[in-house]
Structure 1
Amino acid sequence: MRLWLFLLAFLSPSISAAQQAGWGNVGQQEEKGFSWTAPLWPDFWMAWTPATLAVFVGIFSAMAVITVLEIRRPGGDERRGALGLVTTRGDRLFISLLGSVYIFLGWMFFFGMPLWAPLGLAIAWGIFCFWKV
């Protein structure tokens, strides 16, 4: 019993110091502004953030545009490009998306954040792919 009272008396100052230092608010949510990495739906099985949503919306929008172009002008618009490959619209979309992934991964490996420069490089790569490949 005395040991318990001794421990309580010994730990009481540290408990109150922790409360004053802000540890009493650890489990409470703070109101924050917009964040690209904050989950949109915290209880969902997949961590959808605004950044992942933007990427998927962009990819599916590009696929919708390619589908509309294929319906209007069937045949895939085949041509031989700068790489010596015979490519269709879908092939060029795939090459541009794959190249964009490598651009971003390489930039993250060598330079890190921010990612505005590789975004410009990826857009230029996509234009090049649809123009010359």
Structure 2
Amino acid sequence: MLGRLTLTVALVLPLQAMAQAKAGWGNVGEPEEKGFSWTDPLWPDFWMAWTPATLVVFIGIFSAIAVIGLLEGVKYRDGIERKGVLGLTTTLGDRLFITLLGSVYIFLAWLGIMGQPIWIPLFIAIGWGIFVFWKV
């Protein structure tokens, strides 16, 4: 009986050790390689937590301001003023500001009421922007 138990233990223990090595127990202390993340900071020691997502948002906002500035400075010198459905007389810059402000409220309301994911408010905000530039 004791010989059979010893033989079983002698056969099973190396198999368990091999299974643990295959399962990843052999590299427990090593740092794990991570892929791309939208929420990891780009510069960990910087005073502001710049993530790829915040960088893309700010680049988009500043690019839109630059495009509107170029359009009003070069092509539309008089500023395409019009009176829209809200009763406001607006220029391209005004419509961009109304679009950005409305988009922020759409996202904040969605996050406060529904939470994540935020793909649906993204499409709502794009629709809001199209509406503002078309009708306001």
TM-score (norm 2): 0.75
Match of 1:120 in 2: 123
1:30 Cα offset (Å): 3.3
1:31 Cα offset (Å): 2.1
32, 39, 42: which one aligns with 1:40? 42
Separation in structure 1 between the aligned mates of residue 43 and residue 125 of structure 2, nearest angstrom? 29
Q: What's the secondary structure of 2:123's corresponding residue?
A: helix
When residues 94 and 29 of structure 1 are mapped into structure 2, their CA distance, relative to the original with a 3 A threshold, is farther
How many equivalent pairs are there? 109
Separation in structure 2 between the aligned mates of residue 29 and residue 63 of structure 1, nearest angstrom? 42
Q: What's the secondary structure of 2:36's corresponding residue?
A: coil
Question: Aligned letter for 1:57?
Answer: I
1:47 Cα offset (Å): 0.5
Does residue 88 in structure 1 map to residue 100 in structure 2? Answer: no
Separation in structure 1 between the aligned mates of residue 111 and residue 31 of structure 2, nearest angstrom? 31
Deviating beyond 4 angstroms after TM superposition, the runs of 4 or more aligned structure 1 residues are none
Q: What's the secondary structure of 2:77's corresponding residue?
A: coil
Instruction: Pick the structure with greater CA Rg.
Output: 2
Question: Aligned letter for 1:121?
Answer: I
Separation in structure 2 between the aligned mates of residue 89 and residue 54 of structure 1, nearest angstrom? 22
TM-score (norm 1): 0.77
Separation in structure 1 between the aligned mates of residue 32 and residue 124 of structure 2, nearest angstrom? 37
Separation in structure 2 between the aligned mates of residue 66 and residue 132 of structure 1, nearest angstrom? 17
Question: Aligned letter for 1:86?
Answer: T
Separation in structure 1 between the aligned mates of residue 32 and residue 114 of structure 2, nearest angstrom? 31
Unaligned runs of 5+ in 1: 1-23
Q: Percent identity?
A: 69
